[in-house]
Structure 1
Amino acid sequence: MHQQPHLTPQEMLDMQLEQSRFMTKVYGWMTLGLLITAITALFTVYTSVFDFVFYNQFTFIGILIGEIALVIYLTRRIHKMNPATAVTLFLVYSAVNGLTISAYFLVYTTGSIVSTFMITAVTFGIMSVYGLVTKTDLTKLGNLFLMGLVGFIIASVVNIFLQSEALYWIATYVGIIIFIGLIAYDTQKIKTYYFASTTATGEHTKASIMGALSLYLDFINLFLLLLRMFGRRR
Structure 2
Amino acid sequence: MAFNNNPDSWRYEVASSPVSMPRVEINQIMKMVYMWMTLGLLVTAAVAWYFASSDSLLELRLNPAAGIISFVVLIGLAIAMGAGLNRFSPTVVGMMFFAFSAVMGFSLSLTLFAFLSPTIVNDFGQTVENPMYDPTALYAAFGTAAALFGSMTVVGFTTKADLTKMGTYLMIGVWGLFIAIILNMFLGSGTLGLLISIGGVIIFTGLTAYDTQKIKEMSMMPELQSDGNMAMKFSIYGALTLYLDFINLFLFLLQLIAASRD
Whether TM exceeds 0.5 here: the answer is yes
Q: Give 3-state SS (helix, strand or coil) of 2:228's partner.
A: coil
Q: Give 3-state SS (helix, strand or coil) of 2:84's partner.
A: helix
Say whether residues 1:49 and 2:57 are aligned partners. Answer: yes
2: CA distance, partners of 1:35 / 1:143: 30
CA-to-partner distance for each residue in 1:147-184, whole Å, 9 max, x for gaps? Answer: 11111111111111121222111111111111010000
Q: Which amino acid is the alignment partner of residue 227 of structure 2?
A: A
Say whether residues 1:218 and 2:225 are aligned partners. Answer: no
> Within 5 Å, which residues of 2 pair with 1:56-95?
56-95=63-102
1: CA distance, partners of 2:47 / 2:155: 31
1:206 aligned residue: 233
Q: Which amino acid is the alignment partner of residue 113 of structure 1?
A: L
Q: Which amino acid is the alignment partner of residue 225 of structure 1?
A: F
Cα gap change, 1:112 to 1:96, in 2 (>3 Å): same
Say whether residues 1:158 and 2:165 are aligned partners. Answer: no
TM-score, scaled relative to structure 2 = 0.81
Matched-pair contact (CA < 8 Å) for 1:116–1:231: no
TM-score, scaled relative to structure 1 = 0.91
CA-to-partner distance for each residue in 1:184-223, whole Å, 9 max, x for gaps? Answer: 0000000122223442231000110111000000000000
2: CA distance, partners of 1:181 / 1:84: 31
1: CA distance, partners of 2:246 / 2:65: 28
2: CA distance, partners of 1:29 / 1:150: 27
2: CA distance, partners of 1:206 / 1:91: 13
* Distance apart, 1:116 and its partner CA: 1.4
1:36 aligned residue: 43
Specify which of 169, 182, 190 is matched with residue 215 of structure 2: 190
* Distance apart, 1:107 and its partner CA: 2.1
Say whether residues 1:123 and 2:115 are aligned partners. Answer: no
The structure whose residues are more often helix, as a share, is 1
Question: What 5-or-longer segments of structure 2 have no aligned partner?
Answer: 1-12, 116-133
CA-based RMSD of the aligned residues comes to 1.9
2:159 aligned residue: 134
